[in-house]
Amino acid sequence: MLTLMKPLTSFTIEMLHFLGGIGYLTRDIFRELFKSRIYWRLLIEQIYQVGMRSAPLIVVTAVSVGMVMSLQFGLGLEKFGGKMYVPKLLAVTILREMGPMFTSLMLAARVGAGIASEIGSMVVTQQIDAIRALGTSPIRKIVLPRVLACLIALPILCAVTNIVANAGGLIIGAVELKLDPGFYLLKVLSTSNVSDYLSGFGKTFFFALFIAIPACYFGLNVKNGTKEVGIATTKAVVVSSILILVGDFFISKVFWMVEKLL
């Protein structure tokens, strides 16, 4: 019993540390956001890093996801003569779930890892201490531009995913399922509505925070040299991915309740 209690206790303490640390960091981010000036040049640089440099990866992933889903839906529905429902199903699934989810997971892997390792390396080489020792704030200079860049870039990348994934679905719909491209496009546009789009789009703001804040937190908390930079990077990606996957259910539930009210 005691052998079981020890790791459980240390896990609980680590979780409380993590939650407290994330809470403090989030407070500091919002405090700096409203109290201090924003480094526009750094923000634009980060938007480029997060958005533009992730775009090829996102496009490749999106088109693959769209094509695979179209193929699977087509194969499944063909047995029941429901091939014509593929455009509708695919569009709604991508707009509401798969678009924001896949974009966020890809960004967590690429950008979250990048942020955690970059900040971790800055801690190890005392650059974060230097920022503080020069009378400036690492939250304002390092964390805030990265968080804002994720908040700006992720919804845009998600919009790209939505378009590209549906295009991928259309290609397979036309080539493999022998659906007329005009019919496919018409079905996509007529059956998916603004609330489908907003439901997915709204999630991306939460997902952006789920990626950027843990990545910054783990990066800033690197303590014992370069070995811990790797550990921090892994933790950032794992925690962000879990937050995105678990958080998605709760956010979807809230959005669904709001939609019902409206």
| Separation of alpha carbons 219 and 213, rounded Å | 10
Dihedral over Cα of 83, 88, 90, 93: its sign: negative
Residues that contact another protein, how many (by CB under 8 A): 11
Nearer to another protein, 36 or 195 (CB): 36
CB of 133 to another protein, least distance (A): 4
Nearer to another protein, 31 or 227 (CB): 31
Nearer to another protein, 131 or 174 (CB): 131
Nearer to another protein, 144 or 251 (CB): 144
3-class secondary structure, 181: helix
Q: Which of 134, 194, 261, 262 binds another protein (CB under 8 A)?
A: 134
135 lies in the binding site for another protein (CB under 8 A): yes
26 lies in the binding site for another protein (CB under 8 A): no
224 lies in the binding site for another protein (CB under 8 A): no
226 lies in the binding site for another protein (CB under 8 A): no
Tell me the CA distances in angstroms from 260 to 192, 225, 250, 254, 256, one per residue in order: 17, 51, 15, 10, 6
| Separation of alpha carbons 89 and 107, rounded Å | 25
Tell me the CA distances in angstroms from 5 to 1, 9, 15, one per residue in order: 6, 6, 15
44 lies in the binding site for another protein (CB under 8 A): no
The set of residues, in sequence order, having a beta carbon less than 8 Å from that of 97 and lying 6+ positions away, is 200, 248, 252
Q: Which of 9, 10, 72, 125 binds another protein (CB under 8 A)?
A: 125
137 lies in the binding site for another protein (CB under 8 A): yes
126 lies in the binding site for another protein (CB under 8 A): yes
At position 84, the amino acid (one-letter code) is M
DSSP annotation of 84 reads G
Q: Which residues bind another protein (CB under 8 A)?
A: 125-127, 129-130, 132-137
